[in-house]
Structure 1
Amino acid sequence: MRGSALGNQRSTRQRRELLTLFQTCDDFVSARSLHAAAEAAGIMIGLTTVYRTLRILEADGGADVIRDLNGERLYRPRPDGRHQHYVVCRECGLSRAVEAEQVERWARSVAATTGFTGIDHVVELTGVCGDCGRKE
């Protein structure tokens, strides 16, 4: 999350510790796995608070979100606050950021030609990474 903005939510010690833990994530994580990691690190925080905090991060631009094959939302910190697109391995979940300026230009063009503002978009690319492909 950029800065310490938590929307209308209180900035508690547990939330601050959760945010610090989240920022160390190198890959996408579910709310449940982040909650388990928090508990393992001694951060006593409710699962509902983890979900709420991740949703705030998403809305604030502090996290990218994808859905896994089961539809569960997975979160990854945005280190520079810029929206990213990823290709994600369907087998192991490995993700890599990809250049998608064409998509961003297209979204801006749609906004300009339709008169809409606040346009959001989701582009999800999945495949099988090289390591998983060699296992087949």
Structure 2
Amino acid sequence: MLSALHAHGGFASARDLHEALEAGGTAIGLSTVYRTLHALDRSGQVDVIRERTGERRYCPRPPDGHRHYLVCRACGLSRVVEAETVERWAENVAETAGFAEVEHTVELTGICVRCHVTPAA
């Protein structure tokens, strides 16, 4: 499944991956794709974003940890964003509250330049 995610490039839904695997000759059930992606998420091997519809999209997580992304709500284009400030903030909040092994999710969405339509003057 990870190789299919790498081949897809960017974020992919379970349905996207299912279609790609089937097109490549791999007979696999959609429920198996969902279960495998869920297991990859639990084990920290993928980054996950949620669309407005609630659908999850996945991409392989780099070996050095999770990333934060800015995602276009119109076309799905994603860009990695520098988030050191967010990481420090999360660590400080956890330490102040006396928590350990804190995880966080930050989702940034917008409309990319290609999809943004400016009103006519």
- Please report how far the alpha carbon of residue 52 of structure 1 lies from its aligned counterpart in structure 2 after TM superposition: 1.2
In the alignment, is the contact (CA less than 8 A) between 2:2 and 2:60 conserved in 1? no
In structure 2, C-alpha distance between the alignment counterparts of 1:25 and 1:33, rounded to whole Å: 9
Unaligned runs of 5+ in 2: none
CA deviations over 1:60-99 (Å, ceiling 9, x no partner): 2211001001011111111334110000001101000000
In structure 1, C-alpha distance between the alignment counterparts of 2:59 and 2:23, rounded to whole Å: 19
Q: Which amino acid aligns with 1:83?
A: H
In structure 1, C-alpha distance between the alignment counterparts of 2:3 and 2:9, rounded to whole Å: 13
In structure 2, C-alpha distance between the alignment counterparts of 1:44 and 1:90, rounded to whole Å: 31
What TM-score do the two structures reach when normalised by structure 2? 0.90
In structure 2, C-alpha distance between the alignment counterparts of 1:93 and 1:41, rounded to whole Å: 23
What TM-score do the two structures reach when normalised by structure 1? 0.81
- Please report how far the alpha carbon of residue 23 of structure 1 lies from its aligned counterpart in structure 2 after TM superposition: 2.0
Change (3 A) 1:49 1:81: farther
- Please report how far the alpha carbon of residue 132 of structure 1 lies from its aligned counterpart in structure 2 after TM superposition: 0.8
Cα-Cα RMSD: 1.5
SS of corresponding position for 2:8: coil
SS of corresponding position for 1:24: helix
- Partner of residue 127, structure 1: 110
Which of the pair is proportionally richer in helix? 1
Number of aligned positions between the proteins? 119
Identity %: 55
- Partner of residue 91, structure 1: 74
Unaligned runs of 5+ in 1: 1-17
